[in-house]
Structure formats: C-alpha cells, structure tokens
Amino acid sequence: MKAAAALATLALAAHAAPAAAFLPGPRRALLPRLAGATTPGQVALTFDDGPSAASTPRFLRVLADHDVRATFFLLGVQAQRAPDVVRAITAAGHDVGVHGWDHRCLLRRSPRATHRDLRATRDLLHRLTGSRPCWFRPPYGVFSTASLISARRLGLTPILWSTWGFDWTESCTPGSIRRRVTGHLGNGGTILLHDSDVTTGNGAWRATLGALPGLIEDCRRRGLAVGPLPRPEAAVEAHPGVEPGPSGFAGRRTTVVKWAGEDRVPPPGFEPGLNAF
C-alpha cells in the first residue's frame, strides 16, 4: 500500500515537475530560452488567448499603424470559431503559435489527451495559414511532462516570456500594463500580452490595446527592435553558452548562461525538463 502510494506520488511529481518552469526566478536563471530570452537589442511581442473576432482585428490595426509584427499564441477552439481572423493575422505578416486547444491547465490532462489537443491545434493552424507553427506556450504557462514530450514529437518549441502586462485583471489600465512590462524589460526578452478576454470575459483587452502604442514607443526609445519571436534556431544561436537540449525545447548548459547581462550557472546535474526546480 505504502509502495503504491509512493509510486503514485512519484508519477504525479514526474508529471508536474516542469510546472515549476513558470516560476520566474528559476526559469530565468536556468532556462533562458524557455524564459523568452531573445537576441540582445530585440524584444519579442507575443499575444495569448486569441483569436477573437471582437478584439484581435483591433490589435492588428494598431500593430499595422506602428509597423510592428508579433507572435500570436492561438487556441484551437477559438481558431475554429474565427478562422478568418487567423488568416488575417498571418496575412498581416504576424506569426502564430500553439497555446492549446482550449484554455485548460495541462496538468489535469492525460498524456493522450494532451497530445491530441496539441496536434489538433497545430494541424488546424497549419491548414488555415499554410505554414506549420513552431512555438508552443501552454495555458497559464504551466507545462506537464506529457506536454513537453508531445511538443517535441510535433515539432513545437516551448517558450514562455520574460515580462508580462498582468493584463487579464479587471483592474488593469493602459498605464499599469505599460509600467509592469517596461519595469521588467531587459536588453531583449519576450513580452506577454493578451488580445482576447476568452478566459475572463472582463474586457481587459481594451486596456492592453490602449497600452500598446506607448509600449512600442518605450521599447524603441530604449533602442529595442520590436518583432515576433525569432525562429527557434536563431534563439539558440543568440546564446553561445547554450546548446539545444535533448527535447529540443531548451538549452543544455555548457558553461555559463548569459542572459540580460547576468551570468547564471545552473546547479550541477541540471537537465532541462527533467529536474524538478
């Protein structure tokens, strides 16, 4: 009985271990690429939870006005509802990534269901846009072991973010979003915003939309070029201390990981995606 309980605990720990990757401290220190590190001097602009016929086209207009391209992490169920919006996103030169079929925490999904969700979303986006997505960001930024294995099998590279706008809350304003993002903006990184309120229904995307022009201006004033996530290969090349890991989702440490001007040495024996941290 005790052995069975211990085994169950072990299985759960193995399933949930990568979830800790969402913690900003360890993530930034140990998995710079997963944490959204980009080439210094560049900042990647990313949006989650779309597409939404109500809000996404308004973001496309503001981005076009400022001549900025971004990466949109889409939900399969939303893409099915608004296929024209998906096409409009890529027609405007933006990139799309997989956010999942619906907005469920993957720790509660079986490996089989996780794989089905990711594959269905990837294939739908491929059909709608004509090109295969290469990035994967899970709902809530929470990975399960199964999701990392599936992502690898599906040719998707996991990525999170280095700064966010906290722009899903009812109380957020354009000013609060802008302050929060720029307060954690390094010399290159990945901004997380939301172009849809599909998870809350509270209309918070209006504040995000209002923050966008100022945010772009802030980045440019700091000498940062704003754009979509670079291709996964380019992201690795930007970090000479990091080599592609066995799962293809993160870097295996070779010497010292440099990110945002800081030197970080992962602990001995660290294996991306395998250790609980």
Catalytic residues: 48, 194
Indicate the residue among 48 and 117 with the shorter CB distance to Zn ion.
48
Whole-angstrom distance, CA of residue 263 vs CA of residue 257: 6
Of the candidates 19, 49, 168, 247, which one interacts with Zn ion according to CB under 5 A?
Answer: 49
* 117 binds Zn ion, rule: CB under 5 A: no
| Residues 67-106, interacting with Zn ion (CB under 5 A) | none
CA gap 181, 191 in Å, rounded: 7
Query: Residue from 28, 30, 42, 48 that binds Zn ion (CB under 5 A)?
Result: 48
For the CB of residue 204, give the shortest distance to Zn ion in the complex, in Å. Answer: 12
As measured in angstroms, the least distance from the Cβ of 78 to Zn ion is 10
Least Å from the CB of residue 118 to Zn ion: 14
Judged by beta carbon, residue 168 or residue 259, the one nearer Zn ion is: 168
d(CA 115, CA 124) in angstroms, rounded, equals: 14
Q: Which residues lie across from 251 on neighbouring strands?
A: 244
Between 139 and 232, name the residue whose CB sits nearer to Zn ion: 139
CA distance 228 to 152: 21
- 139 vs 245, which CB is nearer to Zn ion? 139
**Residue number, 75 or 154, with CB nearest to Zn ion:** 75
> Cα separation of 67 and 79, whole Å?
24
Minimum distance from CB of 103 to Zn ion (Å)? 6
Residue 105 Cβ vs Zn ion, minimum distance, rounded to whole Å: 10
Amino acid at 268: P
Piece of 87-95, 132-140, 215-223, 245-253 that binds Zn ion (CB under 5 A): 132-140
Residues 6+ apart with CB under 8 A from 9: none
Between the CA of residue 81 and those of 76, 194, 202, 275, what are the distances in Å?
9, 18, 19, 38
Please tell me the distance from the alpha carbon of residue 98 to that of residue 42, in angstroms, as a whole number.
22
Q: How far, in Å, CA of 265 to CA of 81, rounded?
A: 45
Q: Which of residues 135-154 bind Zn ion (CB under 5 A)?
A: 139
- In angstroms, what is the minimal distance from the CB of 246 to Zn ion? 27
Which residues, other chains included, contact 35 with Cβ-Cβ below 8 Å and sequence gap of 6+?
24, 27, 28, 160, 161, 162, 190, 259
Cβ proximity to Zn ion, 130 vs 201, nearer residue? 201
* Whether 20 contacts 168, CB under 8 Å: no
Size of the site for Zn ion (CB under 5 A): 3
Q: Interface residues with Zn ion (CB under 5 A)?
A: 48-49, 139
